[in-house]
């Protein structure tokens, strides 16, 4: 009953708010894309196009609002790459034999990429970035909560059935993408209960990845941990938090999980890999052969399963690699555009985490860390699963692109003084006295250490120096 009430209530609210405040409609769309209500509560929620109703109202509101802007700053490059990729998929869908499958691929990609770009045009403040981050975390965290509930009730639903049309591997990679978001929201949130919720969801996600028995998911979580180590503030307190998280994950991984993960690398005495691991390597080799034969256009969108039988695989067999299957189906051009979208986004977002990079709000660095960590885990783990229509990586990338957009805008230095006054207010939300030696002050000091002196807000506006974070001198400081 709760699922039905939530689904109908969120659909009505998302559609109504989408007409007048399209960003809230977008948040409802994102939550449904991750939660998949008819899969989460199949016994009470009938299949229907709930997201379509929200999306339609959101598009009307977006077309009428003055809030949207296409001034994307440094986010423009990844947006161009993913847009051209959609166009390339559209062109490639005209010539394959199985036209229905080809256009189904294009439809799935369009349903993800267009809302993502609309969401980016609607982001105009840090507040909206935070709302998006918490929406993603809450939706993915609740999914992890339900999977843990099944597991501790005696049935490993995630391993044997997956979730929302995804197998255990795809669902695990969705969790990998969300775990970095959960961890850094826990590290950087100001309120204690926010930290508790974020770390609780992070623990649920980590445990779900482990009992999914997905080797790609486990490897992705390790890579996400390495990404977190690279970008986390270099202080004993934050290293201690990361260390506790690593120890907790190691404790939760029992002998069966560790043995399963090690089969990824260990060969038998005959020199062969475990059968499942070897089959993936063979599939990738066949995909590379298709790329050699069709380097420009590939065999067509969604066509690899149809030609897998010509290489001795069962009809309909997936390539078990997002990157290899994309290359086989859309050629090296399509692969370059798609992989380039993620790698360019990761690179630009990573640069925002550098101490010498100027930002106009410390939350820009915090959110960049979330996005960078999640995308690193996804890019590696996606090598082991075909999942181009998984939504959460796009929205995790959107968080970073939103920061790139906002931090590229010219800002008055007086805005920074206003933020400083707000952050250093003696009376905190919990009523506690602000301690200049506290960790919150250390965070503030680190994030603003690269700034020039503030210009008083009461000075004449003609004296204000306009600062663009994309053009500031970056000779001082280190990575």
Give the residue with greater pLDDT, 450 vs 121.
Answer: 121
Q: Is the pLDDT of residue 30 over 90?
A: yes
Predicted local confidence at residue 175, as pLDDT: 93
> In three state form, how does the secondary structure of the chain look?
CHHHHHHHHHHHHHHHHHHHCHHHHHHHHHHHHHHCHHHHCCCCCCCCCHHHHHHHHHHHHHHHCCCCCCCCHHHHHHHHHHHHHHHHHHHHCCCCCCHHHHHHHHHHHHHHHHHHHHHHHHCCCHHHHHHHHHHHHHHHHHHHHHHHHHHHCCCCHHHHCCECCECHHHHHHHHHHHHHHHHHHHHHCCCHHHHHHHHHHHHHHHHHHHHCCCHHHHHHHHHHHHHHHHHCCCCHHHHHHHHHHHHHHHHHCCHHHHHHHHCCCCECCCCCECHHHHHHHHHHHHHHHHHHHCCCCCCCCCCHHHHHHHHCCCCCCCCCCHHHHHHHHHHHHHHHHHHHHHHHHHHHHHHHCCCCCCCCCHHHHHHHHHHHHHHHHHHHHHHHCCCCCCCHHHHHHHHHHHHHHHHCCCEEHHHHHHHHHHHCCCECCCCCECCCCCHHHHHHHHHHCCCCCCCCCCCCHHHCCEECCCCCCCCCCCC
- Comparing C-alpha atoms, which of 78, 131, 71, 68 is closest to residue 351? 78
pLDDT band for position 12 (cuts 50, 70, 90): very high
Predicted local confidence at residue 422, as pLDDT: 58
Q: Is the pLDDT of residue 146 over 50?
A: yes
195-210 pLDDT tens trace: 999 999 999 999 999 8
Predicted local confidence at residue 267, as pLDDT: 56
Predicted local confidence at residue 399, as pLDDT: 96
Q: Is the pLDDT of residue 468 over 50?
A: no
Compute the average pLDDT of residues 264-288.
Answer: 72
Predicted local confidence at residue 434, as pLDDT: 42
Predicted local confidence at residue 474, as pLDDT: 40
Predicted local confidence at residue 259, as pLDDT: 58
Give the residue with greater pLDDT, 457 vs 298.
Answer: 298
Distance from C-alpha of 145 to C-alpha of 450, rounded to nearest angstrom: 41
Q: Is the pLDDT of residue 22 over 80?
A: yes
pLDDT band for position 1 (cuts 50, 70, 90): confident
% of the chain residues with pLDDT over 70 = 80
Per-chain mean pLDDT for the chain: 82
Predicted local confidence at residue 11, as pLDDT: 93
Give the residue with greater pLDDT, 254 vs 205.
Answer: 205
Predicted local confidence at residue 254, as pLDDT: 57
**What pTM did the predictor assign?**
0.81
Q: Is the pLDDT of residue 450 over 60?
A: no
Q: Is the pLDDT of residue 250 over 80?
A: no
Predicted local confidence at residue 272, as pLDDT: 58
Predicted local confidence at residue 461, as pLDDT: 38
Predicted local confidence at residue 262, as pLDDT: 55
Compute the average pLDDT of residues 323-347.
Answer: 95
Tokens of 121: 């045009």
Give the residue with greater pLDDT, 456 vs 133.
Answer: 133
131-144 pLDDT tens trace: 999 999 999 999 99
% of the chain residues with pLDDT over 90 = 54
40-91 pLDDT tens trace: 998 889 888 899 999 999 999 999 988 888 889 899 999 999 999 999 999 9
Q: Is the pLDDT of residue 466 over 60?
A: no
Q: Is the pLDDT of residue 424 over 70?
A: no
Compute the average pLDDT of residues 166-179.
Answer: 90
Q: Is the pLDDT of residue 390 over 50?
A: yes
Q: Is the pLDDT of residue 232 over 90?
A: no
């Amino acid at each position: 009953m709760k699922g039905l009430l939530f689904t109908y209530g969120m659909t009505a609210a998302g559609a109504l708010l989408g007409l007048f405040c399209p960003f809230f409609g977008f948040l409802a769309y994102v939550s449904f894309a991750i939660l998949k209500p008819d899969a989460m509560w199949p016994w009470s929620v009938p299949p229907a196009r709930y997201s379509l109703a929200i999306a339609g109202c959101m598009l009307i509101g977006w077309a009428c609002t003055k809030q949207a802007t296409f001034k994307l700053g440094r986010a423009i490059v990844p947006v161009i790459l993913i847009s051209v990729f959609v166009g390339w998929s559209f062109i490639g869908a005209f010539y394959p034999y199985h036209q229905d499958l080809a256009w189904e691929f294009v439809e799935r990609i369009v349903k993800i990429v267009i809302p993502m770009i609309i969401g980016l045009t609607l982001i105009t403040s840090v507040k909206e970035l935070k709302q998006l981050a918490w929406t993603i975390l809450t939706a993915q965290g609740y999914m992890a909560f339900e999977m843990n509930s099944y597991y501790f009730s005696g049935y490993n639903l995630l391993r044997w059935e997956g979730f929302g049309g995804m197998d255990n591997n795809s669902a695990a990679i969705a969790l990998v993408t969300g775990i970095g978001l959960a961890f850094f929201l826990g590290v950087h949130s100001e309120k204690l209960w926010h930290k508790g919720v974020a770390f609780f969801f992070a623990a649920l996600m980590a445990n779900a990845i482990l009992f999914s028995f997905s080797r790609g998911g486990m490897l992705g979580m390790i890579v996400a941990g390495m990404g977190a180590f690279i970008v986390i503030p270099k202080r004993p307190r934050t290293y201690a938090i990361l260390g506790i998280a690593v120890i907790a994950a190691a404790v939760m991984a029992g002998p069966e999980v560790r043995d399963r993960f090690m089969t990824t690398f260990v060969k038998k005495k005959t020199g062969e890999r475990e059968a499942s691991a070897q089959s993936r390597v063979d599939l990738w080799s066949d995909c590379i052969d298709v790329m050699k034969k069709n380097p420009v256009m590939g065999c067509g969108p969604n066509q690899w399963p149809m030609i897998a039988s010509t290489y001795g695989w069962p009809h309909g067999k997936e390539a078990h690699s997002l990157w290899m299957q994309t290359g086989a189906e859309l050629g090296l051009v399509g692969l370059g555009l798609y992989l380039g979208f993620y790698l360019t986004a990761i690179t630009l977002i990573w640069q925002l985490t550098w101490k010498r990079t100027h930002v106009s709000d410390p939350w820009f660095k915090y959110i960049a860390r979330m996005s960078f960590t999640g995308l690193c885990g996804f890019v590696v783990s996606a090598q082991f699963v075909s999942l181009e229509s998984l939504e959460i990586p796009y929205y995790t990338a959107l968080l970073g692109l939103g920061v790139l957009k906002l931090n590229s805008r010219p800002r008055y230095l007086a805005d920074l003084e206003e933020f400083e006054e707000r952050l250093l207010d003696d009376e905190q939300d919990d009523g506690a006295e602000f301690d200049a030696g506290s960790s919150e002050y250390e965070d503030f000091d680190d994030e603003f250490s690269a700034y020039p002196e503030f210009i008083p807000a009461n000075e004449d506006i003609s004296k204000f120096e306009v600062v663009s974070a994309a053009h500031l001198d970056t000779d001082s400081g280190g990575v």
